[in-house]
DNA sequence: CGTAAAATTGAGCTGTCTCAATCAATGTGG
DNA sequence: CCACATTGATTGAGACAGCTCAATTTTACG
């Protein structure tokens, strides 16, 4: 049986590298054969997954959540929307990632979660997670170190926005996503899935979509990267790293 | 007895609003009469405080710490230093504040802590703190919510740097510091202690010291603020808030 | 009191933005 | 499965916010 149109191919699922699976918090799914390729059995698994459509806001700024959402399939962004109508992307969420560890300790979201592609998330119950944390020091440490990673990325983003030029910021964004996908073995040949629009890059780097287009074109003309069919190929990673300093 | 030259007046100590005191983690000091005004007794308290000089780096980027430092007196900054020589201030540390909650879960500092004024810090033992956290849910929650606050500020800074103009960023920085001091009752009349140099403001807002000088002068000419003798007086907070949007 | 650090000022430059028009790609409903 | 509507990308011309450089003055500090 091939995958139906309502279901992503197993490839795109984040389960393999999902933080919750790493914590053993997903045993039910493992037992049920979740990691097997797409199959009738798999579709029979109780679907607690919530789908989301592309380009929709999944959770609104200031919404209150009773759990911690994890992105199962598809890409999303966490966005801060300012009163002047401008938007700043705080982080790009790829499959298998927790939306934000902050929700482990606070029910209110201070930012909006917007979908890039269509996909799905699974909501992990907060009290259940907190209980797991107090019982198991391993889980506690891993979740907190995930929080530290989040914080680390935020700090680097601050430095990028405050002290780097457009070229550097964009190069760093591309390399950052590259590295994250690389860690979970999602680099194929020298290219990765890359569903972000230039608008997303602009909102993530504090630039204009117009200017992003111009910078990306210089990258293309210099044979650094190639975009095609929602994927990114890096042709000269060394020179790109140079631009990222 | 008046304060000796080697000791700040009680006014400048952060103990009154120190997070550790709030957590009851400072009972020894309380019992010994720490909260009394400057006195011979107070000076007799076992001094675990470590002094630091103005404008010095207190902890270096990538240093490994066995505890969590709390600023007792004086102001400091946490700074990210880039390879191109530029620097970005991630946060301004005022007396009574924990340097960063990240150190509760990770021994390595990823940024540098630089003093603004001279002052002192006290190092809280990591294992002792972790133990207190596991024993007392109250302490756990408070420290984690402090971490959330930190994270929150980082997110807002990202949005500021990415999507706001120089005027807005500077206005927001001034108001942010104002509000933090206000919370701990340190606004007197309509002015606050303000030891930051324009260079600090520049590094915190991602601008140049030259341009900061120009913007601040427009603020002065518009009778929004007044700087004198390391203090800041806000003359028209409403209009300043407008500029901050 | 002398030296180092900080602030000010001006002239010129440039990276990035705005506006606007056009073209390409993607998605949707009949 | 096509036609239309929407969203995204490209391009060019012009404007301006914020930068660099450099000289001078003011302030802070040992």
pLDDT value, residue B7: 36
Query: From the Cβ of B220, is strand D under 7 Å away?
Result: no
Is residue A28 very low, low, confident or very high in pLDDT (cuts 50, 70, 90)?
A: very low
**A156 contacts in chain B (CB < 8 Å):** 80
pLDDT value, residue A12: 58
**A164 contacts in chain B (CB < 8 Å):** 82
Q: Is the pLDDT of residue B42 over 70?
A: no
pLDDT value, residue B149: 95
Radius of gyration, CA atoms only, chain A: 18
pLDDT value, residue B122: 87
pLDDT value, residue A6: 35
Domain B164-244 in CATH: superfamily?
Jelly Rolls (2.60.120.10)
pLDDT value, residue B136: 80
Hey, where are the domains in chain B?
8-154, 164-244
pLDDT value, residue A75: 96
From residues 47-86 of A, list those within 7 angstroms of strand D by Cβ: 55
Contact assignment for B80 to A157 by CB distance below 8 Å: no
Pure H helices in chain A: 19-22, 27-31, 40-44, 126-135, 137-163, 166-183, 198-205, 209-221, 237-244
Q: Is the pLDDT of residue A5 over 90?
A: no
Q: Is the pLDDT of residue B23 over 80?
A: no
Q: Output A137 or B161, whichever has higher pLDDT.
A: B161
Is residue A16 very low, low, confident or very high in pLDDT (cuts 50, 70, 90)?
A: confident
Closest chain A residue to B89 measured between Cα atoms? A159
Write out pLDDT tens, residues B47-100: 478 899 999 999 999 999 988 899 989 999 999 999 988 999 999 999 989 999
pLDDT value, residue A20: 76
Asked if residues B187 and B237 have their Cβ atoms less than 8 Å apart, the reply is: no
Average pLDDT over residues A127-132: 81
Pure H helices in B184-208: 198-205
Q: Output B20 or B7, whichever has higher pLDDT.
A: B20
DSSP conformation class of B108: B
Average pLDDT over residues A197-220: 97
Average pLDDT over residues B23-50: 51
Q: Which residue is nearest to nucleotide D8 (CA to C1')?
A: A197
Contact assignment for A155 to B90 by CB distance below 8 Å: yes
Phi, psi for residue A51 in degrees, rounded to 5: -80, 155
Q: Any idea what the Cα angle at residue B172 is, between residues B169 and B176, rounded to 5°? A: 140
Q: Output A62 or A29, whichever has higher pLDDT.
A: A62
Q: Which residue is nearest to nucleotide D27 (CA to C1')?
A: B229
Q: Is the pLDDT of residue B26 over 80?
A: no
CA distance A234 to B58: 41
**B83 contacts in chain A (CB < 8 Å):** 245
Q: Is the pLDDT of residue A155 over 90?
A: yes
Phi, psi for residue B186 in degrees, rounded to 5: -105, 15
Task: Kindly report the number of other CB atoms within 10 A of residue B191's CB atom.
Answer: 18
Query: From the Cβ of A197, is strand D under 7 Å away?
Result: yes
Q: Is the pLDDT of residue A87 over 60?
A: yes
Q: Is B215 helix (H, G, I), strand (E, B) or coil?
A: helix
Query: From the Cβ of A88, is strand C under 7 Å away?
Result: no
Q: Which two tokens stand for residue B44?
A: 């007799």
From residues 122-151 of B, list those within 7 angstroms of strand C by Cβ: none
Exposed, middle or buried, A199 (CB in 10 Å: 0-12/13-18/19+)? middle
Tell me the average pLDDT of chain B.
Answer: 85
Contact assignment for A88 to B141 by CB distance below 8 Å: no
Q: Output A38 or B83, whichever has higher pLDDT.
A: B83
Name the nearest CA neighbour of B181 among B91, B80, B103, B95: B95
pLDDT value, residue B24: 65
Query: From the Cβ of A243, is strand C under 7 Å away?
Result: no
pLDDT value, residue B36: 45
Is there a shared CATH topology between the A8-154 domain and the A164-244 domain? yes
pLDDT value, residue B128: 79
User: B237-244 and B166-183 helices cross at what angle (nearest 10)?
Assistant: 130
The owner of tokens 């341009």 is: B211
Indicate which of B158, B167, B173, B202 best probes the interface with A, i.e. most A CBs within 10 Å of its own CB. B158
Name the nearest CA neighbour of A13 among A117, A112, A103, A104: A117
Q: Output B28 or A174, whichever has higher pLDDT.
A: A174
User: A166-183 and A237-244 helices cross at what angle (nearest 10)?
Assistant: 130
Least confident of A198-202, B7-11, B185-189: B7-11
Average pLDDT over residues B221-242: 95
CATH architecture of the domain covering B8-154:
Sandwich (2.60)
Q: How distant is C1' of D4 from CA of A119, in Å?
A: 27
pLDDT value, residue B12: 58
Residues of A with CB under 8 A from a CB of B: 80, 82-84, 86-88, 90, 102, 104-106, 110-111, 141, 144-145, 147-148, 150-152, 154-159, 161-164, 205-206, 245
Average pLDDT over residues A123-130: 83
Write out pLDDT tens, residues A100-115: 999 999 999 999 999 9
Is residue A84 very low, low, confident or very high in pLDDT (cuts 50, 70, 90)?
A: confident
Average pLDDT over residues B95-112: 94
Distances (CA, A) of B173 to A31, A192, B75, B128, B170: 52, 39, 15, 34, 5
Q: Is B41 helix (H, G, I), strand (E, B) or coil?
A: helix
Question: Which H or E element spans position B19?
Answer: helix B19-22
Asked if residues A89 and A126 have their Cβ atoms less than 8 Å apart, the reply is: no
Asked if residues A42 and A33 have their Cβ atoms less than 8 Å apart, the reply is: yes
pLDDT value, residue B53: 93
Query: Which residue in A87, A162, A206 is closest to B88 by CB distance?
Result: A162
Average pLDDT over residues A188-195: 92
pLDDT value, residue B238: 96
Asked if residues B69 and B122 have their Cβ atoms less than 8 Å apart, the reply is: yes
Is residue B193 very low, low, confident or very high in pLDDT (cuts 50, 70, 90)?
A: very high
The owner of tokens 């920085």 is: B173
pTM of the model: 0.89
Q: How distant is C1' of C2 from CA of B91, in Å?
A: 35
């Amino acid at each position: 049986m091939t995958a139906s149109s309502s279901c992503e191919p197993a490839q795109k699922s984040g389960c393999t590298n999902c933080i919750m699976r790493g914590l053993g918090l997903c045993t039910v799914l493992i037992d049920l054969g979740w990691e097997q390729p797409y199959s009738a059995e798999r579709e029979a698994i109780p679907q607690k997954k919530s789908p989301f459509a592309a380009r929709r806001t999944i959770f609104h700024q200031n919404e209150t959540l009773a759990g911690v959402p994890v992105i199962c399939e598809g890409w999303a962004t966490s966005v801060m929307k300012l009163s002047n109508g401008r938007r700043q992307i705080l982080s790009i969420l790829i499959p298998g990632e927790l939306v934000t560890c902050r929700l482990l300790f606070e029910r209110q979201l201070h930012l909006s979660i917007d979908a890039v592609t269509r996909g799905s998330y699974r909501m992990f119950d907060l009290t259940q997670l907190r209980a797991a944390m107090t019982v198991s020091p391993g889980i506690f440490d891993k979740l907190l170190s995930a929080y530290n990673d989040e914080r680390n990325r935020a700090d680097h983003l601050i430095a990028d926005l405050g002290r780097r030029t457009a070229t550097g910021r964009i190069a760093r964004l591309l390399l950052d996503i590259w590295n994250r996908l690389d860690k979970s073995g999602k680099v194929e040949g020298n290219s990765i899935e890359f569903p972000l629009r230039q608008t997303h890059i602009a909102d993530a780097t504090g630039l204009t979509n117009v200017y992003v287009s111009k910078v990306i074109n210089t990258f293309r003309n210099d044979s650094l990267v190639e975009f095609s069919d929602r994927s990114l190929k890096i042709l000269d990673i060394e020179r790109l790293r140079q631009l990222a300093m």
